[in-house]
Structure 1
Amino acid sequence: MRLNSTLALSLLLLSLMLGAGFVSAAAGFALGRQALKGVRQPEARPTKKPLGHRPGINDSETPILLKESEILATVLKRMQQGTAAGESFTKPKAEESVAVQPSPQSSPSPSPSPTPTVASFPFVSEDKDVRLEILGARRQGGSLLLDVSLQNESAQPIRFLYSFLDVSDNNGRPLSAIAEGLPGELPPRSDAFKGTVRIPTALLEDAQSISLMLTNYPDQALSLKVEGIPLNP
């Protein structure tokens, strides 16, 4: 008895599922048909005239080719009609299209530039009775040596700190320099003290001249400056 009830319930459920599936399929088909209503398959035959074709306008399958003489005649006729209506087809005058060329003038020959004057040794700078002289320049090994002289003609002793010695080339590049043989202090009304300033030639490169400036220590009240010292080979 219980087996018959279970079988009957299973068949009922299966019938309900099949009925629900059929109803769903019918509803989907109806919705799809309604959505595609009015949609037509495009024409695939090229020989058939397209929609919206006007009868009587180029109904022949083969295009009509015009002759070259007929095209030229039509263009000439339209040009003549435009001229008669007031359109101008005249070409510009030759003299209007020709640009006026300036008459060539002989350019004056450039005058020769004056030869620059090269200053010669010694180079002298003096400030507040203190005198600096650059006596000459020479090369020794890998260095350029400047022979210099310092003299104090004032009534006060003058001290120098040669780390303040400022040397640069004509391109404005600073150069490393070492003072040798010069005293750290000049007594009042002293004789001239001679020494050298050593500059590595590797720093000079394409320099043509150098400048040198020296001041006292510690107040830096002096300005002993020499410019344009030529570099002799």
Structure 2
Amino acid sequence: MKINTTVLLTLILLILMLGAGSVSAFLGFNLGSSALKGVTTPDGRPTTKFASSKASNSQQSGVALLKEEDILKVVKARIEGKTKAAKSEKQEDDEEETKSNRQKPEGKPQEVTQEKLQPGFPVSAENQGVSLSVQSARYSGGDLLLKVKMQNKGKDSVRFLYSFLDVTDDKGRTLSASTDGLPAELPANGPTFSGTVSIPTALLDDVNKISLSLTDYPAQKLKLDVSNIPVEKAAGL
């Protein structure tokens, strides 16, 4: 009897365990199913991928592509349009310039004005084709300004050092002077050069005439003496 009771209890326990396992499995399945509602697995079938690629290709093929000829025609038309626009702008500019030139009065020929010489001028000297001429004298800014012209018509060039320029008044006194614009060398058969000789006014209070003396350097073979240059001050100076 004891053996039968033990076997019976064992069977009862097994049945209870199986029942509890079945119940727990059922409950777990229901919970998992409710949790996975609406979740789908990706379609990994090759036929489906092929169909989707066909669909995408069909969508891309729907885009209209321009022909090469049409593109070339458009580009050519744009280039021709820009060229015509540039030509028309240039023509308009030329026409405006022509109109403006027509509207401008014709320029009168330049009149050759001769320098009005002061009384007693010019005073000049010449030696061996080299000339020194004083064209005018005027007072300005505390100095007497002598306008001087020099030219060499000889066959050889001549050099000068203007620190050797001697300036004397009508009483034989030596005066200090400075030069501006006179050339250091006169070329043979050259043009006329102009410059200025400046003498301080304070040295000319009682002077009416002055003289210039210049020799070439370093040979000192020619000498230019310009005498009796009138420098008398006007009234009020």
Q: TM-score, normalised by structure 2?
A: 0.48
Q: Which has the greater radius of gyration?
A: 2
- Whichever structure has more helix as a proportion of its residues is 2
